[in-house]
Amino acid sequence: MGYQQLIATLWQQYSQEITAARKIHELFEREGETVVNDHIALRTFDDPRVDVDVLATPFVKAGYVEQGHYHFPAKHLFAKYYVHAHDVSAPKIFISELMVHQFSEWLQDAVAALLAAIPERLLNHPDQLISCGVPWGVPSYAIYEQLLAESQYAAWMYAFGYRANHFTVSVNHLKKYPTIERVNQFLKQQGFTLNSENGEVKGTLVDRLQQSSTMAEKKQVKFQEGICEIPSCYYEFALRYPDEQGVLYQGFVPASADKIFESTHHDPKQS
Ligand code: NI
């Protein structure tokens, strides 16, 4: 499968679900902008059946090359990112995995049970796994909450499964909104809520990457116990700066990504 098709499938699934992403995408297009994706983020667990390398397989087959990796010790995450070898306009693919063995035995067992429930067909076809949604049946809210107590990321994976966690608009490609501040101002005027953890703009000129994001959209999810509203996915915006040679920085900034992971934060007392 070509990478354009993999990305189109992920976008269709994501934009159908995430109203804010669909609306913002439409708003920019109505403003005469061409929306180019900077990167797409996928999530998984570090089990060798479904880890970052497995999820990357269809992209690598379609011409992507591993470019670097990051550790997020506070969140117990590891991530790699991939860049297309020839197509400079292709979005980067950022894939993170939860270091499951760093959590309680209860969480490790819970994740093992989820992985055991994934159909063999999907494990054998990572190109289908990446956008299969929840492959382990209807989730239990009790388990969701217990996962949430240890890891927001694990709880998100449990409730939403395999799909894009976020798409990211390349601000470098916008004409009327050439800075993160302009993008943020426009979105707030349009009534969207931004992630303001440590300020709305993550990263500085020195980092060569500035980012912002909407707060994750609340979605009604069917649990065994009934329907519950929980945070799902967010839309991200990235502006990259050139280095001394004039080449745009293509990597990521762990400290900023760490804060952006908070966009799917869920405080059960507040929802
Ligand atoms: Ni991102």
Q: How far is the CA of 225 from the centre of ligand 1 (A)?
A: 32
Q: 251 C-alpha vs ligand 1 centroid, how far in Å?
A: 11
Span 142-154, average pLDDT: 97
How far does the centroid of ligand 1 lie from the alpha carbon of residue 238, in Å? Answer: 8
Find the DSSP H helices in the chain: 3-17, 19-30, 52-61, 105-116, 120-123, 126-129, 141-150, 152-160, 180-189, 254-260
Give me the phi and psi of 68, to 5 degrees please: 175, 170
Q: What digits encode the pLDDT tens for the residues 18-65?
A: 999 999 999 999 999 999 999 999 999 999 999 999 999 999 999 999
14 CA to centre of ligand 1 in angstroms? 14
- 59-112 pLDDT, tens digit per residue, is 999 999 999 999 999 999 999 999 999 999 999 999 999 999 999 999 999 999
For the chain, how many residues are written?
Answer: 271
CA of 108 to the centre of ligand 1 (A): 26
Contact (Cβ atoms closer than 8 angstroms) between residue 46 and residue 229: no
Q: Over pLDDT 70: what percentage of the chain?
A: 94
Q: How far does residue 229's CA lie from ligand 1's centre (Å)? A: 23
Contact 120, 240 (CB under 8 A): no
Rounded distance from Cα 252 to ligand 1 centre (Å): 8
